[in-house]
Chains A and B, each alone.
Chain A
Amino acid sequence: MSSYHLDHLEYLETEAIHVLREVAAEFERPVVLFSGGKDSICILRLAEKAFRPSDIPMPFLNVETGHEFPELIEFRDRRAEEMGAKLIVRTVDEAIEKGLATATPGQTSRNKLQIPVLLGAIDEFQFDCCIGGARRDEEKARAKERFFSFRDSFGQWDPKNQRPEIWNLYNGRLNPGENMRVFPLSNWTETDVWEYIQKENLEVPNIYFSHARECFFRGDQWLPVPPVHDGNGTPDPYEGARPTEKEEHRTMICRVRTIADMISTGMIESPAESIDDIIAEVAAARVTERGTRADDKASEAAMEDRKKAGYF
């Protein structure tokens, strides 16, 4: 092999850097969606590679359901501060108070409620482009996603009417009120993400590694038992998301493979203590990453429906 040749991670990296620089050059008010999850951790490193020695020319945004793993929030805040970035957090609770979102009675998961919160933040800050860490290999509806994914003034995705994306010439033109979602990791797989984290020696939240946790079995998933609610007359935010007496629960040696919030994240039994262990585990895995996401299992087209409505 000649020395003037990139291996697969180098190729994916240069492609993503190109995309990030296009965003910085073509949009007025872009924002990076940063959750503290493994994909957005890679996005941050790629942004450093794209823009240093300058500052990363865009703030970070995270939408909280209110059911987050505390480890993830701590990591997110610390990482944003270390990078000297402005971190904007908008929550489902605030949106409910302001009337932007309405909780569905009996529905504890707030996954869908993130949509109006995200659209509200886009409106509030007049963001014209949101950079996300979504990958095409995650889910079937995402397999048809573009690098530059156009959303109309209602934030909707129209999969049948996407702009053709040819070579590396991305069409970022918008009319007022319209919005672009940009996915620099479109061509990355779960394995690529972990190999990149290893190559770049990136820190990830410790819930990705094996630890002991109280879990209970619901549907076909092991879900984490939510933190104790101390009462004080306030309603339990995890009402309906706690194990019933009939449901099996036990302490598991486990980790997360993909992170939503505590209600939607299935834990997998795993002894993986290092990035090497995780890469070996992913290589041997016989179920997909999103097989551990309760939110995708609602129906075969669950992701497509949420994306059409403006989901990440």
Chain B
Amino acid sequence: MPQHPIELLRFNTCGSVDDGKSTLIGRLLYDSKSIMEDQMEMLERSADITGGGQVNLANLTDGLRAEREQGITIDVAYRYFATPKRKFIVADTPGHVQYTRNMVTGASTANLSIVLIDARNGVIEQTRRHSYISALLGIPHIVFAVNKMDLVDWSEERFREIRDEIEDFLPKLDTFSDVKFLPLSALDGGNVVDPSEYTPWYEGPTLMGHLESVHIASDWNLNAFRFPVQWVNRPNNPTDKTLHDFRGFSGQIAGGIVKVGQEVLVLPSGRKSFVKEIQTFDGNLDEAFSPQSVTLVLEDDLDISRGDMIVGTDSLPGHSADISARVCWMEQRPLQAGQKYFLKHGTQTVQAKVISLDSRINIQTYEPEPHPAELAMNDIGEVRLRTAKPLVFDAYTTNRLTGSIVLVEPSTNATAAAGMLRGPEKVYQPEYDDFMI
């Protein structure tokens, strides 16, 4: 067992076709000794058959038959490796333009995003798109990995050109807590795990060094307590008589910290109570924090069900049926005003209608184009929605869990959009407080 708690870092890699994403992941796995002999044998076998003898590390993640036939990555592939310092979950997200929805999927849970750039091609449309999506999804840390440096003779000038071009547009995104630029070669391994001998001009860490040390402990929201009730815990016919009247609320803390004795507000009912117990299978806790899964028992017997939110009384969320969101559209059938969808938010699903399409974001310029007729697959835009029941929510930029929605197409049940909520125009107003005083 490790001597100290091992942190988990989730990152995604994005780039366009042939930027060498899969090769980079293969390199990280290979150099951290996470590739096993039978995998290596299999790679060598397929290299002899199809690769003209050249081992293709991409075959490690591109597992589907169609992917290997076409030499492309179709879907998000998850890979796992560990070093003595950290454990890593990698989402390898395909770069091809029609698969942007996969990048949103992979990026939604990431702490860090690696945007790959081919040193020969420099910044292309995909680079701007991937940077934008990383910012849109609120990923705190971003790395611009300038790959294939070996093919431009490890030119410092070329690296600086690319960095300058990115730094020109970065202020428009302005959401990252830290940004790194790294010259590397996934193929020969330079600056991936070991420093390259060809970059004496580069003084930063290797990619692995950065992944192992970047500060992620404050990536979770610990400010405002948010607890979407997931499952009402009421034992049926318990043999233990003390459980006869047991009523707990199970869920995963989506933000903040909760303590025994603390006053809480149940939304949308607006009833107040105090936390009596924080239960887990391993015993009761004095306090719990995001993203722990716990069961709360309150002092008062309130009517609470799945979809309700228990929150702290110090910092209140929004409460409204009229919401604005930035959405990434993921369906063949375009998004248009007037359409109805199921909307998932936290632990509830409600019907929602598209009131208006306010803009589509131009991925090249990052400028909004006002009032488009529709959003097609892979488009990103601002929409206004009205929900059949008011949502209790936060701005996505404040809380990734209480500020996110997905839209589901009712006829096919397909997941049609990922949405990031705008901040509420007004927070929840406790109506009866004045009367109670």
Q: How far is the CA of A24 from the CA of B74 in the complex (A)?
A: 31
Asked if B80 and A54 sit within 8 Å, CB to CB, the answer is no
A173 and B342 contacting across the interface, CB-CB below 8 Å: yes
Q: Are B104 and A301 in contact (CB under 8 A)?
A: no
Interface string of A242-258 (1 = CB under 8 A from B): 00000000000000000
Taking a contact as CB atoms closer than 8 A, the residue among A2, A18, A285, A304 that contacts B65 in the complex is A304
Cβ of A140 and Cβ of B63 under 8 Å apart?
yes
**Contact yes or no, B78 A8, CB < 8 A:** no
CB <8 Å contact, B6 and A8: yes
In the complex, A10→B414 CA distance in Å?
31
Shortest Cβ distance from A172 into chain B, in angstroms?
Answer: 9
Nearest Cβ distance between residue A178 and chain B, in whole angstroms? 8
Please determine whether B104 and A173 come into contact, CB atoms closer than 8 angstroms: no
Cβ < 8 Å to A, chain B residues 50-99 = 60-66, 68, 74-80, 82, 87, 89
Task: Look across to chain A and name the residue whose beta carbon is closest to the beta carbon of B242.
Answer: A53
Q: A54-B234, A171-B344, A300-B46 are in contact. Are A144 and B63 (CB under 8 A)?
A: yes
Docked pose: A8 CA to B87 CA in angstroms: 7
- A4, A10, A189: which has the most chain B beta carbons within 10 Å? A4
The one of B61, B105, B251 in contact with A164, judged by C-beta atoms closer than 8 angstroms, is B105
Closest to A12 in B: B8
Residues in A whose Cβ lies below 8 Å from that of B404:
166-167, 169
Instruction: Determine if A54 and B233 form an interchain contact, defined as CB atoms under 8 angstroms apart.
Output: yes
Q: In the assembly, what is the distance between CA of A181 and CA of B422, in Å?
A: 33
B291 touches A6 (CB 8 A): yes
Contact residues in A for B406 (Cβ distance below 8 Å): 166-167, 169, 171
For A288, the closest partner residue in chain B by CB is: B36
A168 B408 Cβ-Cβ under 8 A: no
**Per-residue CB proximity of A144-173 to B under 8 Å, as 1/0?**
100000000000000110111111110101
Nearest A residue to B287, CB-CB: A4
Are A53 and B344 interface neighbours, CB within 8 A? no
A43-51, A109-117, A209-217: which lies at the B interface?
A43-51
Known: A1-B217, A168-B252, A173-B413. A8 touches B79 (CB 8 A): no
Give B309 Cβ to nearest chain A Cβ, in Å.
Answer: 15
Contacts of A191 in B (CB 8 A): 82
User: Which single residue of chain B is at the shortest CB-CB distance from A136?
Assistant: B78
B75 in contact with A159 (CB, 8 Å): yes
Q: Mark A11-27, 1 if CB is under 8 A from B, else 0.
A: 11111011001101100
Interface residues of B in 237-288 (CB under 8 A from A): 238, 240, 243, 246, 248, 250-252, 257, 279-282
Chain A residues near B78: list those with CB within 8 A: 136-137, 143-144, 186-187
Question: What are 22 residue pairs bridging A and B, where the CB atoms are less than 8 Å apart in the complex?
Answer: A1-B217, A2-B217, A2-B218, A8-B5, A8-B6, A14-B291, A17-B252, A21-B252, A48-B281, A51-B233, A53-B240, A140-B64, A142-B63, A143-B79, A159-B75, A160-B64, A168-B109, A169-B345, A173-B408, A175-B413, A276-B1, A285-B36
A residues sitting closer than 8 Å to B (CB atoms) are 1-2, 4-8, 10-15, 17-18, 21-22, 24-25, 48-55, 136-137, 139-144, 159-160, 162-169, 171, 173-175, 186-187, 189, 191, 195, 198, 276, 279, 285-288, 291, 300-301, 304
